Structure 1
Amino acid sequence: MSPRPTIADVAALAGVSRATVSFVLNGRPGVAAATQERVRAAAAQLRWNPSRTARALSTGRARAVGLVLTREPELIGVDPFYPAFIAGVESVISQSGDGLMLQMCGPENEVETYRRLAADRRVDGVLLTDLRVDDPRPALVGELGLPAVAVGGREGAADLPTVNLDDRLVVADAVRHLVDLGHRRIAYVAGPLEYRHARRRRQAWAEALSDTGLPLGLVLPGGFTAAGGAHATQMLLSYAKPPTAIMYANDLSATAGMAAAQAAGLDLPRDLSVVGFDDISLASWTRPSLTTCRADATSWGSSSARTLMELIEHGTAGDVEMEPAALVVRSSTGLVPTPGPRAEGDAHGG
C-alpha cells in the first residue's frame, strides 16, 4: 500500500515551496494564476487533500459553527422543526467543509457552555435560537468575542445580525380565517412564554381578536410539546362553553390536540377547527390535514448559516428578512358548528 501523499509531494510535483501550496489551497492572495493552476493540478494528480487539522492550524479557524440548545434532548428528537433547521444549516456549511457542533445543555450550565466553546476555540461562531426575555446570550457572545447571529427577531438581539421571519401577520390571517368561517370562541394553546417568539405569536392572536371586535379567548400553556397540546385541548373541551376553534403555537402540539379531540368523540372540523404553526411535513398527512402557518425551517437554517459564515469571513453581516410566514388552509378548519345537541348544551352551560 503506497503511503498517503503529503504537502511536500504536491510542492515537489508542482515545483514550488510548501508555503506556496498552502497559500493556494487556502485561497490566500499573491500567487500567480499559472502557479495556482499548477499547484491544483498536482494536488489533483496525487489525490491529495489537506487534513482538517492542518487547515485549521494554518487559517486559525476551527472550521465549525455552534448551535447550543437548552431544550430537553428528547424534545428535540420529536419536534420536526429542529431537524429541518439543522438540515438547512448543514446544506450551507458543508459546501466549505465546515461542520456543525451541536451542544445540549440545561439552563443552569448554558453560560458555561458558551464560555467553554469560546475558550477552547471549538467553533468560529454560533447561532442563537429561541431568544428569551432577559436572555444573557447576546451580551455574553459580545463579551467573549464570539461571532453570533440571532435567529428569529431583532428584539433582544442587541447589536447582533439577525435572521428574521415575521410571524405576526400570519397569526392575524389565521384568526381572520376562523372568524370568516363564523367562529367566535377561538382559544389559544401557547408556547413557553419565556421565548420571545412564543410571546409574539400569543400577542398577535390577542390583537387580531381585538381588531375583529371579539373578546379575548381562552389561553392555556402547551409548551411546544405533544403532551402539552393534548392536555391543553382536554382542558379546553371540558369548559361549559368550549371553543369552536383552537390555535396552537406549533404543529406538534396541534396534531396531538387533534388526536385528543377525536378521542373525546369530536368530528374535525365539524365540531372543532384547529390551526397549527410551522407546516411540518406531517401536517399535510394528518386526518384531517392540518391548516397551519408555514415557516420554512430548512430555509431558515440555510439563511442563518449563510449570514453567520459571512460574519465569520468578513467581520460584518447585515440583517436578513425572510419571506413572511403564510397561512396554508387545509381540512382541519371549517364552518362554525351549526346549532344542535352539542351547541344547545353549550348555550345552557353558563
Structure 2
Amino acid sequence: MSTNYISIIFFFLYYCFFFSFSLYPSFSSATCVLRCDVQGICYVAEGAVCEFIEDSNEDTSNENEHERHKRDAHQENAGKGNNPNLRSAIFVLSERCQNTLRCGRKDSNPIKPPTKVNSVITCCLNCLHFYPPCTSISFKKSNAECKLWNFLGLPFNHNTDEMIYYSIKPYVTDCSQIAKTLPRSKSGRYAVAYGRETVLVVCEIKDKEGWTVLQKRQNSSFNFNRTWEEYRRGFGDLRSDFWLGNEFIYKLTSGGKFHLRIEAHTRTGNVFSATYASFKIRQESENYKLSVGDTIGQNDDGGHAFFEASSTSFSTYDRDNDQNKDKNCASEGGGGWWFRLCWNSCYFNGLYTLSSKCDINIEQPQLSRTIMMIKRV
C-alpha cells in the first residue's frame, strides 16, 4: 500500500473520529451525522436525525395542485421527509472508472457551486441531501472546498495528495425501486447497484413509476453498428444515444419480472408505443436469447415491433445468430438486434435510412427516434 493512500485513510479516520465524537451525543438536537469505519466506508449513524431523510410531519392533505408543485420544486427531490431509505446508502472511496456509459462524463460541471465545509463528512452529507443528482464528492484539503458531482469514480485529473473523492454506493438496482423509495424523484440519471459495482442509468419516472432505459436513440448519425463485445458491454452516452449493454440487461432481468415498453417515432411525426407483459434475455452462452410476453397496454399501436424478435438470439455483424441462412441480418441492416429473418423485423438499432423500414404496421414507416425501457413488476 502506497504512502499517499495510507495518508488518505488516516485523514479520513481523523475526521470520522472527530466528528463522530463531537456530534454523536447531540442527537436530541436533531443532528445529522455520518459515521465511518476503519475501511473508510461512511454511512448515516444509527439514531442520527436528518431533516432531508426523516418523514415529514407536515399536513399536506389540503394542498391544492399549485401549492404541491411549488413545494416539490423548492425541495428539488431532496426535501424534508423525501426518502427514509437514504439511511441505507453509504459512501466509499472513489475508484478509477474510464467507462463513460457506466460512470458518466468527467468533463461535466459540479451540480452546485463549490462550498466551504468543515469536513469531508459534511461534504458527503451535502451530496446525500442532493441525491439525486449528486453521486460523488470532491474535498480539497488545503481550503476545505466541497464540490458535488453527477459522475462516479475518480476524475481524469485527480490529485490524491490534495483531493479526496467519495462516491455513493446505492441501495437500489433499477429505476422502479428509485420511484418507490424517492417519492419526489424525477426523470434523470441515477446511481444503481450492479453486483459489486455502482453504475449510472437513465430513469424515466412518471406517476410514481420508474422505467430503466435500455436503449435510446435520437440522433440518426450515431453509429449503432457495433461488435458483439460492444453490445455486450454497452456503448454511447447516457445524455443522448446509448445501448445499456446485454450483460447488464441479462443480469437485471434475471433477478425478477419486468414489463417492457417501447416507443418508436417516425420520420412523418407519428409515435407508436407498446407495453409487453414480460421481458428478459438469457446469458451470453445462449446468445442473449430474447423472451417477450404479450402486449398489455390499452392503446398499444406498436405491439408488432417485437412480434418477430421474441424467442430469437442476438446478432451483430461479427456474430451471426439469425435464422436467415443466406444473409447476416445485422451486417445488412447496420446494427445488432434479435433477428428472425431480415426482411420482416423492426429493429431499433439499424440504419435509419430511406430504405430501412419498420414492420410496426401495414405502412412500414421509417424511424427517427426510439426508446426501450423496462419496469420491475
Give the TM-score taking structure 1 as reference length.
Answer: 0.26
Considering Cα pairs closer than 8 Å and 6+ residues apart, tell me whether 1 or 2 has the greater RCO: 1
Q: Which has the higher helix share?
A: 1
Larger radius of gyration: 1
Give the TM-score taking structure 2 as reference length.
Answer: 0.25
